[in-house]
Amino acid sequence: MTSPRHNWTVDEIAALYDQPFLDLIYEAQTVHRQHFKAGEIQKSTLLSIKTGACSEDCGYCPQSARYKTAVEREPLLDLQTVLEKAHEAKESGSSRFCMGAAWREVKDGPDFDRVVEMVNGVSKMGMEVCCTLGMINTTQAKRLKEAGLTAYNHNLDTSPEYYGDIITTRTYEDRLNTISNLREAGVQLCCGGIVGLGESKQDRFRLLQMLANQNPHPESVPINKLVAVPGTPLSDQKEIEILEFIRTIATARILMPQSFVRLSAGRTELSDEAQALAFMAGANSIFAGDKLLTTPNPEWNADQVLFNKLGLKELPISPSN
Ligand code: SAM
Ligand code: DTB
Ligand code: SF4
């Protein structure tokens, strides 16, 4: 049994990532089976509760007010609408409901009060509940936790070195501070990044190192493949080679053996075979439902067919929730 480490060097990560592909997948699957039941995949449903008009300049994001994209801005949804969506998600087999807001940061006031009510309502439905609302302080994080929040998503996105090429309106340090505020509040962390932003392999290693050297590891690690959205600065970014994407997932699995590794954005561009490889490489969570926040995701039925073909099972909601 491999126990989690928090002192990975870039050279060690490079050696894992660059080993012969079959050896890498075998190692990742071996580690995976030491900690998880093979073939059990956790499904999360995403809902954008506040869409577009974001002040930040994240180069990949269709919700930034700085880029002309097809995203239509929408104010914060009302409580009832959100609870109905959560109910539908539960009925369709999701064990976790994640609400995302196109905010730079959480601001105290009526909107945040409403989000706290949403968290409370979803939690009472017996689902795991997750939020991604931008930067947050410890007091706000504690309020969400008391309302029933299971986890908070805040990504590092890429390496500290490449970060400034992608986002200029907040720093890597800001992200690390939010992560430490969440830990201080005792909230579980969902923290990962994006590949295919034009980063080098070295940047990918550094992102993985920044994630894996956190102690404890983030409980879930979303690995997003860039969705190149027209109108964003990265709209013409060349797609990352799928096998490199799979290598990233497999390396994440080996580095963070007890974390849920989530095959996140970009699934619509993956074939069934590529997704099967990602599961083989240790991914054990997906976003389910036909929409991520603003971009498409595979339809419910398509996922059902894939699960049947591969003999995968949905992870049930844990009894503590
Ligand atoms: N506004 C909050 C924030 O930035 O933390 C929460 C929502 S934001 C959309 C959540 C994450 O989605 C980003 O950190 C990024 O990793 C991911 N994301 C956004 N647009 C994406 C895209 N086009 N392709 C892949 N991942 C994307
Ligand atoms: C994460 O790492 N990926 C999800 C979730 N956390 C919030 C978001 C992906 C967004 C993809 C672009 C969009 O749909 O707007
Ligand atoms: Fe705003 Fe988040 Fe999109 Fe950045 S990723 S522009 S902070 S919604």
Q: Return mean pLDDT, the chain.
A: 93
Q: Ligand 2 test: best mutation among 43, 46, 72, 220, most atoms within 8 Å of CB?
A: 46
The three-state (H, E, C) secondary structure of the chain, written as one string: CCCCCCCCCHHHHHHHHHCCHHHHHHHHHHHHHHHCCCCEEEEEEEEEEEECCECCCCCCCCCECCCCCCCCCECCCCHHHHHHHHHHHHHCCCCEEEEEECCCECCCCHHHHHHHHHHHHHHHCCCEEEEECCECCHHHHHHHHHCCCCEEECCCECCHHHHHHHCCCCCHHHHHHHHHHHHHCCCEEECCEEECCCCCHHHHHHHHHHHHCCCCCCCEEEEEECCCCCCCCCCCCCCCCHHHHHHHHHHHHHHCCCCEEEECCCHHHCCHHHHHHHHHCCCCEEEECCECCCCECCCHHHHHHHHHHHCCEECCCCCCC
Give 227's pLDDT tier (boundaries 50, 70, 90): very high
Q: Is 54 a catalytic residue?
A: yes
Q: From ligand 1's centre to the CA of 61, what distance in Å?
A: 6
Indicate whether residue 102 lines ligand 2 (CB < 6 A).
no
Task: Tell me the per-residue pLDDT of 127-159, one tens digit each, with 9 for 90 and over.
Answer: 899 999 999 999 999 999 999 999 999 999 999
Mean predicted confidence (pLDDT) in 186-203: 96
Which sequence spans correspond to the domains of the chain?
A: 10-306
Catalytic residue check, 131: no
> Is it the case that residue 125 has pLDDT exceeding 80?
yes
Q: Summarize pLDDT for 19-28 with one digit per residue, the tens.
A: 999 999 999 9
> Can you give the pTM of this predicted structure?
0.93
Residue 95 scores a pLDDT above 70? yes
Q: How far is ligand 3, taken at its centre, from the CA of residue 94, in Å? A: 25
Considering only CA atoms, which of 43, 17, 57 is closest in space to residue 255? 17
Instruction: Inform me whether the pLDDT recorded for 291 exceeds 90.
Output: no
Q: Which ligand is nearest to the CA of 264?
A: 2
10-306: CATH homologous superfamily?
A: Aldolase class I (3.20.20.70)
Ligand 3 pocket test target in 63, 99, 170, 295 with most atoms within 8 Å of CB:
63
Task: Check if 191 is active-site.
Answer: no
Kindly name the residue from 96, 206, 253, 262 that is annotated as catalytic. 262
Q: Is the pLDDT reported for residue 317 higher than 80?
A: no
pLDDT at residue 142, rounded to an integer: 95
Q: With 60 as the cut, is the pLDDT of residue 319 above it?
A: no
Residues 242-269: tens digit of each pLDDT: 999 999 999 999 999 999 999 999 998 9
Burial of 243 (0-12, 13-18, 19+ CB in 10 A): exposed
| Active-site residue, selected from the candidate residues 96, 131, 175, 190 | 190
Q: What is the pLDDT of residue 234?
A: 95
Ligand 2 pocket, residue 264 CB under 6 Å: yes
Q: Of ligand 2's atoms, which has the minimum distance to the CA of residue 155?
A: 2
* Ligand 3 pocket at CB < 6 A: 54, 56, 58, 61, 63-64, 102, 104, 134
Highest averaged pLDDT of the listed ranges 24-38, 39-53, 82-96:
24-38
pLDDT of residue 134: 96
CA–CA dist 71, 253 (Å, integer): 33
Ligand nearest to the CA of 167: 3
82-91 residue pLDDT tens? 999 999 888 8
Nearest ligand by distance to the CA of 133: 1
Say whether 204 is catalytic. Answer: no
How much is the average pLDDT of 287-299? Answer: 86
What is the arithmetic mean of pLDDT over 55-73? 93
